[in-house]
Amino acid sequence: MTATGTETGVIDLTTTVRFASVDAVAVAGIAEQLDAALRSAIDAQGAGAVRGYFVRPVGSTVQVGLRFVGMDPEHVEGTADELLQAALEDLNGIRANESTRGKRTSTLLVGA
């Protein structure tokens, strides 16, 4: 690797999404719907650098993890933002009759 090169390895991004006025039981259902919405967003945007992901309920929040392989570290957060925004918009469309809106509350990057 040269001094001007950019190393592209594995970067894991984990973020927490909170839904106002939702209890832990309802979060499990939301997590399932968010999982499908995130898979759809990854496929639609052709995010080939995303080699794995997870969506899991944790108490009254949902934790989302994305694994990026071979992507320039400078683009990881922007790509994750786009994917999560698209998934949350899709989820909000599915849950249009409810007053719950997902809001990201924290993000952790490992490997950047």
Distances (CA, A) of 100 to 20, 22, 67, 89, 97: 6, 7, 27, 12, 9
CB atoms < 10 A from the CB of 17, how many? 24
Local structure of residue 70 (DSSP, 8 states) = S
Contacts of residue 105, Cβ cutoff 8 Å, sequence gap at least 6: 16, 17, 18, 61
Q: CA 58 to CA 68: how far, in whole Å?
A: 23
- What's the whole-model pTM score? 0.80
Q: Give 95's pLDDT tier (boundaries 50, 70, 90).
A: low
Q: Give 5's pLDDT tier (boundaries 50, 70, 90).
A: very low
Higher pLDDT, 112 or 83: 83
- pLDDT exceeds 60 at position 70: yes
11-51 pLDDT, tens per residue? 999 999 988 788 888 899 999 999 999 999 999 987 778 99
Domain architecture of the chain: domains with CATH: 10-110 (3.30.70.1430)
Check: CB of residue 83 under 8 Å from CB of residue 104: no
- Take residue 5 and report the two structure tokens written for it: 């090169």
